Amino acid sequence: MTVTPAISEPLAAERPAHRDPNVLRWLGAYASSAMGDNVYYVALSWAAVQAGTPSQAGLVMAASAVPRALLMLGGGVIADRFGPRRVLIGSNAVRCAAVLAVTVLLLVSSPGLWLLGLLALVFGVVDAVLMPALGALPARITARGQLARVQGMRGLASRLANVVGAPIGGLCVALGGATAAFGVAALLFAVCLPLLIAVRVGRRPGGDGQPVDSAWRELRDGLGHIRRNPVLARLVVVVALSDLGFVGPLNVGLTLLADERGWGASGMGWVLAGFGAGAGTVSLLLTVRGRVPRAGLVLSVTIAVGAVAIAALAYVPTVVAAVGIALAVGLLAGLSGALCGALLQTESDPGFVGRVTSVSNLFSLGLAPLTFPLTGAAVALWGTGPVFCASASVCALGGIFGLCSRALRRAELPA
């Protein structure tokens, strides 16, 4: 592994992240992997629908959520123990090999839903390791003062992957079926590997790959690190509340709202585009600006105001108004999300970033998606308005909690 001096050295601090070839290599690897994710999900959903009933397809699509939620904390231990770069290389290699194997099997036979379910389970297990490493790597490749800019760059790459990846997946399915789409996803996962291998990382205190404690002890140490840091402890609560209140309305709820209002799929698409445009704009501003003063205060305020916008979304009568509110939600959620990520990384000790990230991801990417069925059932019982308001209240509690915390309210990103 190529190792550079610690990221805190003056040379690293002098170079803005968006002009650093090392950071750009990481960004290229992330964009390629994220596009592969989008193509993979299109292929998996299409193949599942073709091979079984809608309910069976839903089970296949949800199969990755359970191992991801159960194993996420362990993934943080692995990221800190062996180094996030190594973990990302190994995780993407496993994903590439798994998707390639499914592609070959689909070419020579028709194995059915069991193969797709197994692939989804493999992705869930790998994601539990990959996601904490993905959150931990930026702190090892750039200076602490550049982490907000890196979050903006990551947001731009994520939006680009969403805009480009899904259409590529759909085109592949149209031309060659799910088999072709799986093949392209494997290719995109493969492309990110040489870029990750070329990324240089700073050595954390104690070095990588030299475990001295049991995994359980390391996990307890990580949780203790969060508990002892007043900013991290409160930030994790803010992330948990805001994500638990945010993802249901913006994923399941929006579809049901569009159907209830008669906006149709095109109307829902415009609302999602408004949200994406807002989040992308914030990512671009962070990439250019690089830092937001009074980060803790700003993220708490934006979460609270964003919650009001989420509730308002359920009561607008027209698509145009909904797009405008979605644009505001995207701006506010994009800013608060990027600031949360940057503060998590800057407040964490370098040897604990993976474990801290895994705790944050446990709520946002592990437990929050499990609320989707609950959101759908609640809308069926009480309608979109009350459910959006209830979810927005949970989200607002996160912002209010942050505002009531003196440590978090005064938290700053390094200059």
Beta bridge partners of 320: none
pTM of the model: 0.83
The reply to whether 157 falls in a domain is yes
The reply to whether 88 falls in a domain is yes
Q: 188 and 221: one domain?
A: no
Q: 52 and 161: one domain?
A: yes
Q: 232 and 362: one domain?
A: yes
| CA distances from residue 195 to 105, 126, 185 in whole angstroms, order as listed | 28, 19, 16
pLDDT at 89: 96
The reply to whether 211 falls in a domain is no
Counting as low any pLDDT under 70, the low residues of the chain are: 1-14, 54-55, 203-213
Boundary-marking domain end, from 173, 202, 231? 202
Q: 90 and 44: one domain?
A: yes
The reply to whether 40 falls in a domain is yes
Q: 233 and 329: one domain?
A: yes
Q: 196 and 226: one domain?
A: no
Spatial distance between the Cα atoms of 61 and 66, rounded to a whole number of angstroms = 11
Boundary-marking domain end, from 161, 179, 202? 202
Boundary-marking domain end, from 134, 167, 202? 202
Beta bridge partners of 4: 202
Spatial distance between the Cα atoms of 8 and 129, rounded to a whole number of angstroms = 26
The reply to whether 210 falls in a domain is no
Q: 153 and 230: one domain?
A: no
Q: 239 and 177: one domain?
A: no
User: Over the range 32-70, which residues count as b (16 or more CB within 10 Å of their CB) and which as e?
Assistant: bbbbbbbbbbbbbbbbbbebbeeeebebbbebbbebbbe
The reply to whether 350 falls in a domain is yes
Q: 19 and 62: one domain?
A: yes
**Residue 4 is inside which H or E element, if any?**
strand 3-4
Q: 108 and 231: one domain?
A: no
Q: How many folded domains does the chain comprise?
A: 2
Give the burial class of 223: count Cβ atoms within 10 A of its Cβ; 0-12 exposed, 13-18 middle, 19 or more buried: middle
Are the C-beta atoms of residues 408 and 300 closer than 8 Å to each other? Answer: yes
Angle formed by the axes of helices 113-136 and 84-108, to 10°?
A: 160
Q: 266 and 119: one domain?
A: no
Are the C-beta atoms of residues 164 and 32 closer than 8 Å to each other? Answer: no
Strands (E), 283-401: none
Residue 356's identity, in one-letter code, is V
pLDDT at 208: 52
Q: 186 and 303: one domain?
A: no
Are the C-beta atoms of residues 214 and 337 closer than 8 Å to each other? Answer: no
The reply to whether 183 falls in a domain is yes
The reply to whether 209 falls in a domain is no
pLDDT at 54: 65
Contacts of 215 (CB under 8 A, 6+ apart): 74, 77, 81
Residues of the domain holding 308: 216-409
The pair phi, psi for residue 202, each rounded to 5°, is -80, 145
Are the C-beta atoms of residues 85 and 199 closer than 8 Å to each other? Answer: yes
Read off the CATH number of the domain in which 258 is found: 1.20.1250.20
